Structure 1
Amino acid sequence: MIKAIVTGHSAGLGAALTAELLGRGIPVLGLSRRALPPPEGAGVDALQQHALDLSNLPALGDWLAGPVLARFLADARHALLINNAGMLQPVGPCGGQDAAQIAAAVQLNLGAPLLLANAFVAASAHCPERRILHVSSGAARNAYAGWGIYCATKAGLDQHARATALDRLPGLRIASLAPGVIDTPMQAEVRASDPAGFPLQARFAALKAEGQLTPPADAARRLVDHLLGASFGDEPADDLRNRAAQ
């Protein structure tokens, strides 16, 4: 049996990933601050949800110390972890950023995925196959003015995937994958940015105006195809658009 854990599962790409997995008959454990109504056709136990603020690392640590994760994966033969939750703020140059937002972004974008990956590897030790997908960003590999925190935290996910791949743990494949530019609430947040703090605001607004944003359902389908495919993890830090071209 395949089972999946998805963070930030209640909106945007996370909701689309959850729907895609459930549509393929894969039970999902969703971790988010808000709940998601189970999609039509899903079995009563297909979607388990736990309300967690993933930027609160002590609370996440307490939850991971409990029985839920191990219990969910107990009958899995193929286990998946998708670290999707993330935040864009703070946007703006260094020296003018809000300290609380910096701390929250580092904890949500980087701290939570590292804690979850560690707990997942331990809880899935019995599984012949287990895979970790960090949802990364082109900002991990290309610096953008005003996005210092976002770029740094996404780059951290890439390096975690590279280093973990070198551990060569039995049955484990890992990749930090940039999914392309997707039509999600985060993109609306980008378009609403003050150009004084994010000089490329007009470029991202044009992507929406010109219909160049990928629908979440399309991105989710391609991500799950790759996650379940034979080449997943061949390149620990990659871009989904590269994979789609192969």
Structure 2
Amino acid sequence: MIGTKAIVSGHSRGLGAAVAEELLARGIPVLGLARRGNPALAARHGGQLVEVALDLADSAALASWLAGDTLGDWVAGAERVLLVNNAGTLQPMGPLPLQECDAVARAVAVNVAAPLMLAAALAQAGGEDVRERRVLHVSSGAARKPYAGWSVYCATKAALDHHARAVQADATPGLRICALAPGVIDTPMQGEIRASTLERFPLRDRFAEMQASGGLLAPDECAMHLADYLLDQDFGREPVADLRDLMQ
């Protein structure tokens, strides 16, 4: 039996890449799910990283993949499996009259449908051989505070928070879950924010000032603390948490 294995969505860049790197560095094999691969990560960790090319906005394609054997084969032989639902999109930004309907559908698919589908699939994969399953939804402060221009992002992240609360209420044996807000991290998503217009996101300049003043958390530092919590005995005690509180 292998002690622990992990699944990380959106492992090709940003926080997902940093989390995958951190887990691999700790000797935990990672199954990465993303539209694109991460050649640099694969070169450093060889067979410990298995990559699957998936567009998580395509719910039908994801359902088809989950109906296959890859996830079950990956989970097989592990006593504990970690799922980090990291993949997400900030788009569409802007008030309702500026939101493209296809972008709304894509955001709901990536930010909500995919993590819920993956969590449900993991709960069934591997049977009784898997003693423990841990699901971490990468949430956001935007799930708990409304921001002008981010109605879709706020709503989809709030959905993850409430999903975690309800799953915890199910009290499924051997399953722990937490929707964790990681703080403001220096990732490509922050670049999207700074490149937006004030019409689409009125608080753009505040985030730009945070970047200019060094107020953004480095992805690798965030990933270290996230992994610490994911592997901690207290993981999932609260279904919704903020990493900044845990770091104090």
Answer yes or no: same fold by TM over 0.5.
Answer: yes
Q: TM-score band, normalised by the shorter chain?
A: over 0.9
Listed as ranges, the matches of 1:12-31 within 5 Å are 12-31=14-33
Partner of 2:188: 185
**Structure 2 counterpart of 1:174:** 177
**What number of residue pairs does the alignment pair up?**
244
Superposed counterparts of 1:102-121, under 5 Å: 102-121=104-123
Aligned pair 1:216/2:219, yes or no? Answer: yes
Aligned to 1:62: 64
Residue number in structure 2 paired with 1:239: 242
User: Which has the higher mean CA deviation after the structures are superposed, 194-203 or 150-159?
Assistant: 194-203
- Shift in Å, 1:39: 5.0
Counterparts in 2 of 1:93-108, with a 5 A limit? 93-108=95-110
Asked whether the 8 Å contact 1:27–1:46 carries over to 2, the reply is yes
Report the 3-state secondary structure (helix = DSSP H, G, I; strand = E; otherwise coil) of the residue aligned with 1:45.
helix
Q: Distance in 1 between matches of 2:154 and 2:127?
A: 32
Residue 80 of structure 2 corresponds to 78
Q: Give, in angstroms, the shift of residue 125 of structure 1.
A: 3.6
RMSD of equivalent CA atoms: 0.9
Q: Return 5+ residue gaps in structure 1 as ranges.
A: none
SS at match of 2:98: coil
The answer to whether structure 1 residue 205 and structure 2 residue 208 are counterparts is yes
User: What residue ranges of structure 2 are gaps of 5+ in the alignment?
Assistant: none
Aligned to 2:133: 130
- Give 1:94 shift: 1.1
CA–CA distance in structure 2, aligned partners of residues 217 and 241 of structure 1: 15
SS at structure 2 position matched to 1:95: helix
Q: Deviations over 1:70-101 (max 9, x none)?
A: 00000100100000000001000012200110
> How much identity, in percent, do the aligned residues show?
55
Q: In the TM superposition, what is the alpha-carbon distance from 1:228 to its structure 2 partner?
A: 0.2
- Distance, in Å, in 2 between the alignment partners of 1:125 and 1:210 is 49
Deviation at 1:120, TM superposition (A): 0.6
1:3 to 2:5 alignment? yes
Partner of 2:49: 47
Return the match for 1:146 from 132, 145, 149. Answer: 149
- Within 2, Cα distance between the matches of 1:22 and 1:40? 12
Query: 1:37-67: per-residue Cα shift (whole Å, max 9, x none)?
Result: 235552x320000100000000000000000
CA distance in 1, matches of 2:42, 2:47: 12
Per the normalisation by structure 1, the TM-score is 0.97
For the residues of structure 1 that align with 2:142 and 2:193, how far apart are their CA atoms? 13
Closer, same or farther: CA 124–159 of 1 in aligned 2, 3 Å:
farther
Amino acid of the structure 1 residue aligned with 2:52: H
What is the identity, as a one-letter code, of the residue corresponding to 1:179?
Answer: P
From the superposition, tell whether residues 39 and 90 of structure 1 become closer, same or farther in structure 2 (CA, over 3 Å).
same
Instruction: Report how far residue 130 of structure 1 moved.
Output: 1.1
Q: Which amino acid aligns with 1:87?
A: T
CA distance in 2, matches of 1:170, 1:216: 32
In structure 2, C-alpha distance between the alignment counterparts of 1:151 and 1:41, rounded to whole Å: 36
- SS where residue 19 of structure 2 aligns? helix
Q: Output the CA distance in 1 between the equivalents of 2:28 and 2:116.
A: 24
1:20-50 CA distances to partner (integer Å, 9 max, x unpaired)? 01100000000000011235552x3200001
Q: Any idea what the Cα deviations from partners look like across 1:101-152, whole Å, max 9, x if unmatched?
A: 0000000000100110000100044211110000000000000000000000
Matching residue's letter, 2:188: P
Q: TM-score, normalised by structure 2?
A: 0.96
